[in-house]
Structures are given as structure tokens and as C-alpha cells.
A = this chain, B = another copy of it.
Amino acid sequence: MDERVDKSAARRAELAGATLKTLSELGYARTSLREIAQNSDFSHGVLHYYFRDKVDLITHCVREYKAVCVTRYDQVVATATTPAQLQAGFLDKLAQTLVEEPHMHRLWYDLRNQSMFEESFRADVAAIDASLERMVWRVVSRFAELLDTPPRVSSATMYALFDGLFQQALLRQLAGDPDAAADLQAAVTSVVAQVVPLEREPVAG
């Protein structure tokens, strides 16, 4: 019986993978079940054998997506012993994922946007957003710890800032701008210098 559910879970994961691939290539608006099936080894009918409907399938995908993303910087956080090391490692991975996986990232932004229109996605999307926020905060708070300076903005704000920078960089990367990654690194460096600064006078006002 365990074997049965394992098999079933594996197949679901396989189909979820094909779905993620399709979504990342075509975007939500043009992703159809038949197109997904063509990115897998099966026919379009099997999708309704493993998933209730299209929303169920995509929801499952979104959850799977989360697992991959959320640990991206954990290794860097775990091994870095100086602020400079941590910053360099983070910037490296940031640029790397921007250049190597832009399709995966646009898929995420597409789904998050879809959640603005379709309530069925909202809960899962919000959960992933929260996970990503924690991921970013692990990096930033560790950085602050190594610097012995508390961050000057909240976790939620910090995430929004990084997300905005990354999204602009992604737009440029997908438009073919060769400087997108380098400029992202520079911008992040500049912003971090402001919000997790070396010791300085407190801001008045």
C-alpha cells in the first residue's frame, strides 16, 4: 500500500514537473493540459486521473516549486564566516539564478500575479511568499549578526525591496540585457549598505 501511494506520488511529481516546465515556457495564459501532457511521457487524459482539475494540478505545482526555491541561499549562510564572504556568496547565487533560471522565476511571478485575480491560488502563493521572505531574512539577519549591526528595516520590507530589485533585473535579463545580473548585484550591494550599515549616527526625524 505504501508502495502504491509512493508510486502515485512519484507520478504526480513527474506530471507536476512537466507542468512547471510548460508554465515556465508559455506562461499561465497559454498553458493548456494538452501542452503539459506533451511535455511529459503521457497523454492529456492522465492529468485528470492524478488531479481533480486544472486548478488542483497547478496548485500542486506551486507547492512543489516552493521546496526547490526556498533553500537556495542556506548553504551560503551556513558556511560564510565573515560579512564579506556572506555578501559575495549571496550575490553570486543571486546572479547565477537570474542568468541560469530566468524562466523558472518568471513562472513564479506569473503565478503570484494570477493570485491577484484567482482566489484559489491566493493561500498557496501567500505561503510561498512568506517562505521566501524568511529565506531572505535568514541571509540578512545573519549578515547583520556578522556585522554586529541590527538591520534598519523589517523582514517584510527587506523582502519587498529584494523582490523589487530582482524583478526589474529579471525583466531586463529576459529582454536580453547583458548587464542585468551585474547591475542587480550593484543595486543590492548599494541597498544593503543603506539598510544594514556599518555603525553610523542614528537617523533623526
Contacts and interface: CB of A to CB of B under 8 A. Distances in A.
Given A29-B28, A164-B164, A129 B193 contact: no
A113 B110 contact: yes
Interface in A146-175: 152-154, 156-157, 159-165, 167-168, 170-171, 174-175
Interface string A184-205: 0001001101110110110111
A116 interface: yes
Contacts of A161: 160-161, 164-165, 191
A130 to B, nearest CB: 11
A131 interface: no
A159 B100 CA distance: 25
Given A27-B118, A163-B168, 4 more contacts: A27-B117, A116-B170, A160-B187, A198-B204
